[in-house]
Amino acid sequence: MTKVSIIGAGNVGATVAQYLASKNICDIVMLDINEGAAKGKALDLTQSVAVTGGSAKITGTSDYKDTANSKVIVITAGSPRKPGMSRDDLLKINASIVSGAARESHRYSPNAIFVVVSNPLDIMTYLVWKETGVSTSRVIGMAGVLDSARFQSFIAEELKISAEDVRAMVLGGHGDLMVPLPRFSTVNGVPVTELIGPKRIAEMSARTANGGAEIVNHLKTGSAWYAPGAATAQMVEAIVTGGRKLYPCSVHTGEKYGLPAVFTGLPVILGKRGVERVVKLKLNKAEIAALKTSALSIEANVKRLNELKEEAAKAAEPSTKAKDA
């Protein structure tokens, strides 16, 4: 079967592997610097497949050679958020981890499509693109699917209905400035704006934007993994099967929506070639303004990332005195 490699065998990576194994659509390689954790979880998942059925081969490793010729590389490696920590606080911590993962993965799978999950999501997605040099259509950040699922669950809870009947849409960066779109969120085709008042929608939108932090504050020692894992697996499935699904994902803006050239959440058709098309919605002025504010925040963090890389490069250079000596 098609090979999918997951870089990082922590809670999120292992959950992605679990969902993919249950779908029986690909062989799975779990890679982690802690080889024992990767091998142990791979063995456990292999035994679970004997219960649930399927033929997926699941391998645990710390050697990037085992990821060779992957169709999809999922990057979940990095430090999770802790209470009081924003996604942007992780910028410096995770940049070096994600850079190395991207370079090594691309070395052995030059034709792979990358799905990035590590936080801060949109900046790490940009970083993977820069480190690999692949087409923007082959680097996709997992954020909009998760954020939309959170909005969807809050809508279902508010209306006391099945979440299956709800379709929600959240664009923008994966952070406090994300942009839930009630006008494009429906219950079996009926706009949410027809069913819930504006004040309550605003409250649910705010809760969606802080959805990850809410879970972090409960857990104390980690961040969400079940919903992120499920959302990531859904994206991978669309790529592996060529499903051509419309999902909000963190992608390069290109010339769409008049936004800065960054990676941010936009609606796309996701299929076997990765991003097959960015969908242009007819947003109103307020929605466009919110999307631009979110994109500008990402642009500022990308600038900060590049500054940190320059500072690190200078710090690594021998001093003039050392050279003269």
The active-site residue, picked from 106, 174, 218, 252, is 174
Question: HEC profile for the chain?
Answer: CCEEEEECCCHHHHHHHHHHHHHCCCEEEEECCCHHHHHHHHHHHHHHHHHHCCCCCEEEECCHHHHCCCCEEEECCCCCCCCCCCHHHHHHHHHHHHHHHHHHHHHHCCCCEEEECCCCHHHHHHHHHHHHCCCHHHEEECCHHHHHHHHHHHHHHHHCCCHHHEECCEEECCCCCCEECHHHCEECCEEHHHCCCHHHHHHHHHHHHCHHHHHHHHHCCCCCCHHHHHHHHHHHHHHHHCCCEEEEEEEECCCHHHCCCCEEEEEEEEECCEEEEECCCCCCHHHHHHHHHHHHHHHHHHHHHHHHHHHHHHHHCCCHHHHHC
Residue 174 bears catalytic tag: yes
Q: Which active-site residues does the annotation give?
A: 174
